[in-house]
Structure formats: structure tokens, C-alpha cells
A = this chain, B = another copy of it.
Amino acid sequence: MASKDRILRLKEETRVNILEAALQIVKEEGWQALSMRKIADVIEYTAPIIYEYFASKEAILLELNRQGYLKLSKQLQEAKDKHTSPADQLEEMWLSYWNFAFANKELYQGMFGITTSCACKMVNELPEAGLPWDIITGSIGELMNIEDMDSDIICTKYYTFWSVVHGLVSINLLDRGDSDKINRQVLRDAITGIIRSITP
């Protein structure tokens, strides 16, 4: 029965369509404007069929976040692969993180926003949310000559990196902050500063 395959392919397709429609709406009108009926409008169905593909609206948000983490991880890995020295890798990766945030503002908000309306709470239980950590701490450990990737010192250094970059991103996403050029300079200074501070 090849028709079964076709039908499965179609179902998978509308599943993708739902996610794409959701992201499109969010990009055009923001998270607060996303509604099931609007998604249904875009994919030319009525709202209840969405529940054949996702258990709830929150499940859609969660899946979008998941894909966001995958996309970010892919970019981080590509950035890492450009260099061999851990110091260069770290600089390239955090610049890549910065670029991801602004190229995917809405996604970034969902992934790392202090959600206010707390769109999807279980994002912390998403396994993909741990991927960036894995990719980056590898270079930190190598740079510091530490093997145990879960050691407190690596953890601390990771959070030091993350907080400064995420903080800078947040401020810019909040429409605060200076011109992009100045902020890039602050970012570069901070990153190289931290790298130097942990270079043996």
C-alpha cells in the first residue's frame, strides 16, 4: 500500500506547515498574536485539526523552541569547526551565538526569554536545550586543560560567558543599548577578556 506512505507524507507535511505558519505569524505579529485559529487560517484548515498534530498550543511552542536549539547548536558547531585552537573556537562560537540571536529574534525570545507569560514551562526538560552547553564547554575544558566537563570551574566559566553575551543580547533586544557597532565592540572585548582570563 504505497498510498499509506503518501498519506503519511502528507500528514508530516501539514505538521511542518503548522510549525512554519506559527513561526511566520510570530515573526509578523509577535508571540502575543499567535493563536490556533490564525495558524489554521494560514494552513487553510480549521483550528481543531491542529490537535491531531499537537496536543496543545504549548506543544507547538515547545517544538519551535526545540528546533531553535537545534539550529543554534548547528551554527555553534559550524563556528567551532572553523578553528582548531579552543580560544579561537570560543570567540567564533560566541560571535555566532550573538548573530543567531539577532537573525532569529523571535526564536531567541522563546528560548531564553524571561518569559513573563511563561509560554512553555518545560523548556528546561528539553534535551536539545543542553546541546549548546555540550559544544561550548568542550572548548573551555580544552583551553583550561580540564577533562571533567561537569567540574564547577568549567560550569562557572560557561555561565560567565553566557551571562555577558546573553545580557548584551537582551539589552539590544529590549531596544536599549547603543549602535550595533559599539555593542559588537563590547561583545568582542568581553569575550576576549574572559578567554584571556582562563588561558593558562
A residues with a Cβ closer than 8 A to B are: 30-32, 108-110, 112-119, 124, 152, 155-156, 159-160, 162-168, 170-171, 173-178, 182-183, 185-186, 189-190, 193
Are the CB atoms of A166 and B159 closer together than 8 Å? no
| B contact residues around A115 at 8 Å (CB) | 109, 113, 116
How many Å from the CB of A72 to the closest CB on chain B? 15
Task: Give me 22 A-to-B residue pairs in the complex whose CB atoms sit less than 8 angstroms apart, sorted by A's number.
Answer: A30-B118, A31-B118, A32-B116, A109-B114, A109-B116, A112-B170, A113-B115, A115-B116, A116-B119, A117-B117, A124-B175, A152-B182, A155-B182, A156-B182, A159-B168, A159-B171, A159-B176, A159-B178, A159-B183, A159-B186, A160-B189, A166-B170
Looking at A30, A163, A165, the one whose CB has the most chain B CB atoms below 10 A away is A163
- A160 contacts which of B108, B118, B190 (Cβ < 8 Å)? B190
The answer for the CA separation of A189 and B170 in the assembled complex, in Å, is 21
Q: Beyond A32-B118, A117-B117, is A112–B159 a contact (Cβ under 8 Å)?
A: no
Are the CB atoms of B117 and A31 closer together than 8 Å? yes
| B contact residues around A183 at 8 Å (CB) | 159
How many Å from the CB of A195 to the closest CB on chain B? 14
The answer for the CA separation of A140 and B182 in the assembled complex, in Å, is 18
How many Å from the CB of A189 to the closest CB on chain B? 8
Are the CB atoms of B170 and A170 closer together than 8 Å? yes
Closest to A173 in B: B114
The answer for the CA separation of A60 and B190 in the assembled complex, in Å, is 38
Are the CB atoms of B114 and A117 closer together than 8 Å? no
The answer for the CA separation of A32 and B32 in the assembled complex, in Å, is 11
Closest to A115 in B: B116
Closest to A190 in B: B160
The answer for the CA separation of A152 and B171 in the assembled complex, in Å, is 16
Are the CB atoms of A171 and B160 closer together than 8 Å? no
